[in-house]
Amino acid sequence: MEFQHELILPNADLPFKLFVFEGRDGNYIREKHWHRSIEIFAVFEGSLRLFVNDRDYPMKAGDFMLMNSNEMHSIASLKPNYTIVLQIPLKVFDNYYTDENFIRFSHSPRIQDERMMELIGDMYRTYSEKEIGYELKVQSWFYMLVYLLVTKYRKTDVSAEEVKRNKRLNRLTAITDYIRVNYTRELSLESVAGIFGYSPTYLSHMFQTYARTNYKAYVQNVRLEYAYKELINTDQAIGEIAINNGFANSKAFSREFQRKYGMLPSEYRRQQKQEMGR
């Protein structure tokens, strides 16, 4: 499986990130990835499916799901939905770590779930209206939400293996960030290993052991993610899209695309245009 590290930046006017999920129109899949921040998906309309550590969580209106720092997850948003996403920097919880800068929250439903949904809904509504003092009001609800997280959802019985896995993924963060910034460039295993002071063998081992994929597959999947967006959002030729996103040529791009989506890029683009024209 191909996992990607995601870099999260807060909103410009808030100490966290708050937004409407980009898969709101349906027909959207976000591949497996992880990030340092705590992430909450709150579904207000429609439905979607979250996969956390390979466990399937079907979600409907009124449900929310929390993803822990460095927790593998993916999203299948096949139908329209209205989902608000809140991403909280890990440093917010500095005073509540259980061990070695580590904190975990439960996925299990709690009696506080309804209150969490209310807080997230109020936060986004106020943030969207942006009336005078909105930052203060949004942050007041945010800290009430954080209070519920640390008092009602925080796990205190985390295992040593959970802590160890978290540390392993942290070591990959700098490398995967570099790949996502430089995906259009040549990224051989040897060159990237040299940049970070590892041997090629050790870097390969890191990806196989910690991210459960090989280095080349990871790089190609990052490139494919960006190429996919260009394919459906522009009229660029397939060959140009391939070169723009780090593939050697259109054949290499088409091979990777067909492996993942079951059809050639040209066929997929044509199908998308036909569906939009209905």
Least confident residue range of 25-34, 53-62, 193-202: 25-34
DSSP one-letter string for the chain: ---EE------TTSSSEEEE-TTTTS-EEEEEEE-SSEEEEEEEEEEEEEEETTEEEEEETT-EEEE-TT--EEEEE-S-EEEEEEEE-GGGGGGG-SSSS--EE--S--TTHHHHHHHHHHHHHHHHH--TTHHHHHHHHHHHHHHHIIIIIEES---HHHHHHHHHHHHHHHHHHHHHHSTTS---HHHHHHHTT--HHHHHHHIIIIISS-HHHHHHHHHHHHHHHHHHH----HHHHHHHTT-SSHHHHHHHHHHHHSS-HHHHHHHHHHHHT-
**pLDDT at residue 158, as a whole number:** 67
> Which has more pLDDT, 203 or 4?
203
- Report whether pLDDT(238) > 80: yes
Q: How confident is the model at residue 136 (pLDDT cuts 50, 70, 90)?
A: very high
Q: What integer is the mean pLDDT of 184-193?
A: 94
**pLDDT at residue 249, as a whole number:** 94
**pLDDT at residue 8, as a whole number:** 52
**pLDDT at residue 131, as a whole number:** 95
**pLDDT at residue 75, as a whole number:** 92
For 154, other C-beta atoms within 10 Å of its C-beta total: 17
CATH of 4-155, one of 2.40.110.10, 3.30.365.10, 1.10.8.60, 2.60.120.10: 2.60.120.10
Q: Give tens-digit pLDDT for 216-225.
A: 988 998 899 8
Q: Where do the structural domains in the chain lie, given as residue ranges? A: 4-155, 182-276
Q: Give tens-digit pLDDT for 25-53.
A: 888 888 777 777 899 999 999 999 999 87
Distance of CA 277 to the CA centre of its chain: 30
Q: Give tens-digit pLDDT for 153-181.
A: 998 776 777 767 767 777 777 788 889 88
Q: How confident is the model at residue 5 (pLDDT cuts 50, 70, 90)?
A: very low
Q: What integer is the mean pLDDT of 43-67?
A: 92
- Report whether pLDDT(182) > 90: yes
Does the domain at 182-276 match CATH 3.30.2080.10? Answer given as: no
- Report whether pLDDT(204) > 80: yes
**pLDDT at residue 32, as a whole number:** 75
**pLDDT at residue 12, as a whole number:** 78
Q: What integer is the mean pLDDT of 228-247?
A: 93
Instruction: Provide the β-strand partners of residue 33.
Output: 4, 73
- Report whether pLDDT(121) > 90: yes
- Report whether pLDDT(85) > 50: yes
**pLDDT at residue 46, as a whole number:** 97
**pLDDT at residue 27, as a whole number:** 83
**Contact status, residue 57 vs residue 43, Cβ threshold 8 Å:** no
